[in-house]
Amino acid sequence: SDQIKVGIVGYGNLGRGTIEAIKKCSDMKLVAIFTRRAPESLSINEPNVEVLHISSAEEYKDKIDVMILCGGSATDLPEQGPYFARMFNTIDSYDTHAKIPDYFGMVDEAAKAGGKTSIISVGWDPGLFSVNRLMAEAILPSGETYTFWGKGLSQGHSDAIRRVEGVAGGVQYTVPIEEAVERVKSGENPELTTGEKHRRVCYVVAKEGADRAKIEQDIKTMPNYFADYETEVNFITTEELKENHSKLPHGGFVIRSGKSGEENKQIIEYSLNLDSNPEFTASVLVAYARAAYRLNKEGQAGAKTVFDVAPGYLSPRSAEDLRRDLL
């Protein structure tokens, strides 16, 4: 068939979401999932999909058109990104903002050496939000761009809560402060720090006999994570944690408020409201996988970001169809 043959590296939240996202695309076929763990230890029931150890990926060089890298940004991708870019067209969701330039350089070198195309830092932020920040700024050079996150579950902050003494479990939601949002939407162009834009709401399960007042204090004063924010701590039971907080919702919005001439205020807004952050992020990765495949066919080797990919490459439909129906 002329379907695009896709592989997945890493079976976590994003890996699972990618399986679902590929099923929605009739022009794509999932060939194999690669993992560092023992493949038979993962209970994956996908007919016609191989589950293999990551060390056998090289043998699939001619059987897979695009590899979707679903590892974490902290330690997996800095290693897996350049390694796979040498052998496959790749997509990843590298999101350590400060290190993106270095990561781009490493992947670019590897991809060019192998004649492959790698689109890095794909997802919603970085990703779709980045595209919207760029467009808004280019269109309204005189103005301010604001990014608000949430309401959404932050994995990093939830991990931080769970490291506090006396805590058995917990989650943290990042919530935009309504008043700040309203000021921005009114075109006031306020100066706001991240802490003035967001509050942090925690749901915590305390260990038996633990000092709750101390837990609350330890969370609220934790540097970098909570100290600079308005933080709320709610104690709940293990059952409530499981029942009400096991999904991974997220979202947010990018707003640019500026003036076109001397007088007229113009507001651009793009927003996302997501039941599942990883499943949505995976859907973005899959659309960009189609683009990587096509760019490579055109001989455009090397690393790319969402800024380098024209929107038409994301769609399975022909340019002619798109002009007729969506323009």
- In angstroms, the first-to-last Cα distance of the chain is 30
Per-residue tokens: 62: 């001619």
Name the minimum Å distance from CB 13 to ligand NDP: 3
Helix (H, G, I), strand (E, B) or coil at 325: helix
Name the minimum Å distance from CB 122 to ligand NDP: 7
Residue number, 172 or 277, with CB nearest to ligand NDP: 277
Q: Which helix (H) or strand (E) segment is 183 a member of?
A: helix 178-185
- How many Å separate Cα 4 from the centre of its chain? 23
Residue number, 17 or 143, with CB nearest to ligand NDP: 17
Name the minimum Å distance from CB 159 to ligand NDP: 10
290 contact partners, CB below 8 Å, separation of at least 6: 4, 25, 27, 28, 313, 314, 315, 316
Residue number, 1 or 45, with CB nearest to ligand NDP: 45
What is the length of the chain?
327
- Calpha distance 92→112 (Å, rounded): 17
Residue number, 15 or 170, with CB nearest to ligand NDP: 15
Name the minimum Å distance from CB 321 to ligand NDP: 28
Residue number, 242 or 324, with CB nearest to ligand NDP: 242
Helix (H, G, I), strand (E, B) or coil at 195: helix
Q: Is residue 149 a contact partner of residue 199, using CB atoms and an 8 Å limit?
A: no
Name the minimum Å distance from CB 176 to ligand NDP: 17
CA-CA-CA-CA dihedral for 60, 64, 66, 69, to nearest 10: -40
165 contact partners, CB below 8 Å, separation of at least 6: 210, 214, 215, 218
Residue number, 68 or 301, with CB nearest to ligand NDP: 68
Q: Is residue 75 a contact partner of residue 25, using CB atoms and an 8 Å limit?
A: no
**296: exposed, middle or buried (Cβ count in 10 Å: 0-12, 13-18, 19+):** buried
- Calpha distance 14→31 (Å, rounded): 17
Q: What order do you get walking across the sheet with 66-69 strand by strand? A: 50-53, 28-35, 4-9, 66-69, 89-91, 117-119, 302-304
Name the minimum Å distance from CB 73 to ligand NDP: 3
Name the minimum Å distance from CB 314 to ligand NDP: 16
Name the minimum Å distance from CB 254 to ligand NDP: 13
Residue number, 76 or 216, with CB nearest to ligand NDP: 76
- Residues near ligand NDP (CB under 6 A) are 10-15, 35-37, 70-73, 76, 93, 95, 123-127, 277-278, 281
Residue number, 125 or 216, with CB nearest to ligand NDP: 125
